[in-house]
Structure 1
Amino acid sequence: MVHCPECETTLDDADDIEFVETDSSIGFIKASKRFYTANCAACGRTIGSGVAGAKGNGGAGAV
């Protein structure tokens, strides 16, 4: 069983975690990267982070 290190709420359901997109950027290969944090839904403490899938050409239409 996993607990939030801040408020000690049990994190055992998808509703116990809130995923928040924090930043997007365009890299040199024109693919956007979406960064996110995983926060405790009870107290808001960030308990993890990562990079979501990239969109080719940064999600822009063909040029």
Structure 2
Amino acid sequence: MVHCPECEATLAERSDIEFVETDATTGFLAASKRFYVTTCAACGATIGSGIAGAKAGGGGGAV
């Protein structure tokens, strides 16, 4: 069984965690990427993160 490292809540169901999408502009190409943070639904502690590919219409052209 998996538990939150902060509050020790059991993370067994999809509803026990929340996914938050955050946009960021990086580099001189101003490409927008999608960053994901996974948080515990009980206490809000960040328990994971990831990066997806460039977001459509993210302005990948040179500035």
- Fold match, TM over 0.5? yes
CA distance in 2, matches of 1:16, 1:43: 10
| RMSD of aligned residue pairs (Cα, Å) | 2.3
| Bigger helix share | 1
Corresponding residue SS for 2:24: strand
Aligned partner of 2:43: which letter?
A: C
Where in structure 1 are there 5+ consecutive unaligned residues? none
Asked whether the 8 Å contact 2:23–2:32 carries over to 1, the reply is no
Alignment match, 2:5: 5
Tell me the number of residue pairs that the alignment of Structure 1 and Structure 2 aligns: 60
Q: Which 4+ stretches in 1 moved above 6 angstroms?
A: none
Q: Provide the identity percentage.
A: 71
Q: Any gaps of 5 or more consecutive residues in structure 2?
A: none
